[in-house]
Structure 1
Amino acid sequence: MKFTKMQGCGNDYVYVNGAEVNFSPEKKSEIAKKLSDRHFGVGGDGVIFINPSQEADFEMEMYNADGSRGEMCGNGMRCVAVYVYCKGLTDKKEFNVVSAGKLKKIRLDVDESSPERKVNSVSVDMGLPILEAADVPVLSDKKTVVNEPIEVAGKVYHHTCVSMGNPHAVIYVADTDNFPLESLGPLFENHPSFPKRVNTEFIQIIDRKNVKMRVWERGTGETLACGTGACATAVAGVLNGCTDNEITVHLLGGKLKIRWDGPGHPVYMTGPAEFVFEGEVAV
């Protein structure tokens, strides 16, 4: 099977042209676990199949490193956009990609002088954030979960819950660099408040336009970046009144520009996506 390794702010996945393979979902899950292994496989945060689609220009079919199906990945979405344009699967600079039934609008900033079809950056309309607790989902007697207490490992934190097609809990901390993410990340992910587990963003506010972020992704662990998590962080910042509508999220693997103009408006994400290498592997 031919594959392409790509990364967006260090959030790396193995990409496969789904039109060239014919595997069952069970086989794809098995492939994701095998190829994601950083010692015995290709190495990555998961595997993404780029498929033909009847409802959009392309479909993104995402699997986490543990083989579980993922609904959405912002960094993955940008990489899909660069993949299909640079490989000549489309000549459009604006097109749609669907993932788990959610349609996303893509806009490419292309270097017109480059013969290699170079893409400078990708902007994605990530759609409306989902704030209803039952739809995130998070168990709560409140309609929305904004700055609500949650107890983990005997300590009370305050979390704001947002779905960007996948569930997120945003936690503000004083120092992301020294936060014990390795021990606490799994406890947040598997907390009984989250029936489908949760991606957890740990945020240090630098100023109203800049935040630092570390993330624990369900099914994968700590990653260098999470696009949907950065979007959820921007939404949480506006809801809590601690950041402006447009912010730069500083991730371990790079920076993302996120804008949210408040309830009723979509979230916009802009950032890079790059090829790493290509190869062929027996599956």
Structure 2
Amino acid sequence: MCGSGNDFIIVDNRKKILHEAAFSNLARRLCTRSRSLGADGFVIVDDSSSADFKWHFFNSDGSRAGMCGNGARCVARFAAVNGIAGTDMTFDTDAGVIAARVTDDRVRIRMTDPRGFEPEKRVEIRSGALTVACIDTGVPHVVVAAADIADVDVVGMGRELRYHPVFAPEGTNVNFTFVHEDGRLFNRTYERGVEGETLACGTGAVAAALVMAARDRVRSPVVVMPKSGEPLRIFFERDGSAFSHVFLEGNARIVCTGELWEEAWNWADPDDVMDVGSK
């Protein structure tokens, strides 16, 4: 599935065809592009005693993440299409319970309330002092105001901030955000766990919208344009610097359904192969 440019492999595991101990390594292998199916993330759907279902979400490097906005919209449509839930549903995540509404290929999810908002945080990087904003929208994000969104060194500066000691040990996602004169936000994201720029990031779009709203640059609803060009809409209520009733809306497209062969994950890992050329 694809949500605004983020792509995901989704597996219905309610019959326990996969063992939880294997989730992380399986995610890393299946998400490796060129060697396997390839994706930004791996989603396992499981039973829940308190919601319609539960998900386990893994980034492409095998690390577990509490929340992913685009992945959440995709799994909601997956659940509706496959009769796991109705078009109005709730599901458990590591970040809390998410509510979703599916309308054709459009999905709106209610995010957990943001936390840890720091409107101004001074960080020393190689190029000098930088003032950023920090907010957790299910996963931690940094937002950097960008004067020219096309000219930002997303990978270089993004990686430096992602691994900066200030954000240790978990690290952070990093967004570069430009406010257009028509009120739209243009957002580019270096994603933790993917370790590079992705075409879209749902929680990052929410982070950018809330930070710019706190700076009185935008008001709800906010249209956020990710690198993919497929817009996301962010709705929220604001009381000063506090935000609640935060919703993320965008597309969730089904690309294909099928069967994964063992060869999809049973391949030689270059990191495990001895370098015979140096012998």
Tell me the TM-score normalised to structure 2 length. Answer: 0.87
In structure 2, what is the equivalent of residue 257 of structure 1?
233
Range moving further from structure 2, 12-21 or 35-44: 12-21
Equivalent of 1:181 in 150, 154, 161: 154
Residue 238 of structure 1 corresponds to 213
Q: Would you say 1:33 and 2:28 are equivalent positions?
A: yes
Note the residue ranges of structure 1 that are not aligned, 5 or more in a row.
Answer: 1-5, 110-118, 132-143
Using the alignment, how far apart are the partners of 2:20 and 2:165 within structure 1? Answer: 28
Match of 1:97 in 2: 91
| Matching residue of 1:136 | none
SS at match of 1:40: coil
Q: Does 1:279 align with 2:258?
A: yes
| Structure 1 SS opposite 2:166 | coil
CA gap 1:232/1:24 in 2 versus in 1, 3 angstroms: same
Letter in 1 for 2:212: G
* Equivalent pair of 1:176/1:212 in contact (CA under 8 Å): yes
Whether the aligned pair in 1 keeps the contact of 2:109 and 2:248 (CA below 8 Å) is: yes
Q: Which digits, 9 at most, give the CA deviation of each residue in 1:155-194, with x for residues without a partner?
A: 2222111111210011101112111112222111111111
1:152 aligns with 2:125: yes
Alignment of 1:151-170 (within 5 A): 151-170=124-143
1:237, distance to aligned residue in structure 2 (A): 0.9
- How many equivalent pairs are there? 256
- Do 1:15 and 1:48's aligned partners in 2 also have CA atoms closer than 8 Å? yes
- Once residues 183 and 62 of structure 2 are traced to their aligned partners in structure 1, the CA distance between those partners, rounded to angstroms, is 36
After TM superposition, give the deviation of residue 208 of structure 1 in Å.
Answer: 6.1
Contact 2:67–2:95 (CA under 8 A) maintained in structure 1: no
Helix, strand or coil for the counterpart of 1:188?
A: helix
Cross-structure match for 1:115? none
Alignment of 1:125 with 2:98, yes or no, is no
Q: Is the 8 A contact 1:36 1:46 kept in 2?
A: yes
Aligned to 1:279, the other structure's residue is in SS state coil
Does the aligned pair in 2 maintain the 1:147–1:240 contact within 8 Å? no
Q: Offset at 1:101?
A: 4.9
Kept in 2, the 8 Å contact 1:170–1:201? The answer is yes
Give secondary structure in 2 for the equivalent of 1:23: coil
Could you tell me which residue of structure 2 aligns to residue 204 of structure 1?
A: 178
